[in-house]
Amino acid sequence: MGFSYAGNLGGAGAPVVRILPIGETLYTGYLLQYGLATGGHGGAVEILDVAAKAHEDDHPICSICTGVQVTNDAGWNSTYHGDTATYDAGVTAQVANDPIGATHVEVTLIQPDLTLIRGPIFNAAYGTALTECTITTADATGLSIDHTGNAITDMADNLLMVYVRSGASRGHYRIVTTSESTTDSTLVTALPYGTAAGDIVVYASCVFGLGGLDCPAAPNCIDGNNDMNAYYDVYYHDVNLEESGKEFAVFAVKSGACGGVGYLGT
């Protein structure tokens, strides 16, 4: 399962749920954007698109797909990790629906700054764990990490976090101020102990507090291994990188990513 509702900071009871028509085939656990007829889509909601675009030019995030109309549920999709809501454009398929008409899904609406969303963190695609890196050169200052290769390059400063999985500083998170290369990074605040060769660390483009959210083309997880040249503004309330393949974060979407300015462009 991809993204899910995790609560509301405003103290609201039940989440706000709506039934809306879709503009393309999508899956439960997806983040959705308003259907503004991009690419010919004609539904109220469609798949969130983050890739290859500056975040301020993207359409705003509006909801999480949390259910599929029973007659249109094509079952669990092992590739996209959710129940399938098939987009019906033709007459025959729509007449077979109950009620007759376009395919609808259940969505949980996102209230900016208030709705808490939980999402798994993977490396570029659902199910691919973040790369564990082994420290190759000890550093007594705890400010520099030299390690085996990692896919992250040219990461925007202060949008990357490292977690120490083994060694004297095990369990500590730190923000990376500069990602010089795939094998070297500098921390904002030193680790409590120096690093040693053989210590294990893992990186993710999720930071405590104000950060960025990027997703793969299938928006069912957080892409924790990217250069953050396109992202939505979010506030991370929790980031957990403890266990390989089970990393996750809980965040709230900032108002700019949910509002009208999200799709005006330049």
Q: Can you tell me the mean pLDDT for 98-103?
A: 80
Contact criterion met (CB below 8 Å) for 260 and 186 = no
Q: Can you tell me the mean pLDDT for 133-149?
A: 91
Whether 112 and 127 share a structural domain: no
Whether 101 and 157 share a structural domain: no
What's the burial of 106, exposed, middle or buried (CB within 10 Å: 0-12/13-18/19+)? middle
Whether 134 and 233 share a structural domain: yes
The predicted pLDDT at position 56 comes to 44
Q: Which domain holds residue 25?
A: 4-116+257-262
Closest CA to 40 of 87, 104, 103: 87
The predicted pLDDT at position 94 comes to 84
Amino acid at 92: T
Domain count within the chain: 2
Whether 248 and 125 share a structural domain: yes
Q: Which is more confident, 152 or 106?
A: 106
The predicted pLDDT at position 52 comes to 46
- Over the stretch 112-133, which tens digit does the pLDDT of each residue have? 899 999 999 999 889 999 999 9
The predicted pLDDT at position 184 comes to 82
Mean pLDDT of the chain: 84
Whether 181 and 110 share a structural domain: no
Whether 35 and 158 share a structural domain: no
The predicted pLDDT at position 152 comes to 63
| Alpha-carbon dihedral sign for residues 162, 164, 169, 171 | positive
* Cβ count within 10 A of residue 231: 23
Closest CA to 225 of 187, 189, 176, 258: 176
The predicted pLDDT at position 78 comes to 86
Q: How far apart are CA 117 and CA 7, in angstroms?
A: 7
- Over the stretch 175-231, which tens digit does the pLDDT of each residue have? 988 776 778 888 989 999 999 999 999 999 899 999 989 888 889 999 998 777 778
Whether 189 and 245 share a structural domain: yes
Closest CA to 216 of 113, 110, 81, 103: 81
Most confident of 15-29, 160-174, 250-264: 160-174
Query: What's the pTM value of the predicted model, to 2 decimals?
Result: 0.88
Contact criterion met (CB below 8 Å) for 61 and 252 = no
Whether 111 and 29 share a structural domain: yes
Contact criterion met (CB below 8 Å) for 175 and 161 = yes
Whether 149 and 228 share a structural domain: yes
Whether 77 and 149 share a structural domain: no
Q: Which is more confident, 57 or 11?
A: 11
Whether 27 and 147 share a structural domain: no
Quick check: 33 pLDDT over 60?
Answer: yes
Whether 145 and 97 share a structural domain: no
* Cβ count within 10 A of residue 74: 12
The predicted pLDDT at position 185 comes to 86
Q: What percent of the chain has pLDDT over 70?
A: 83
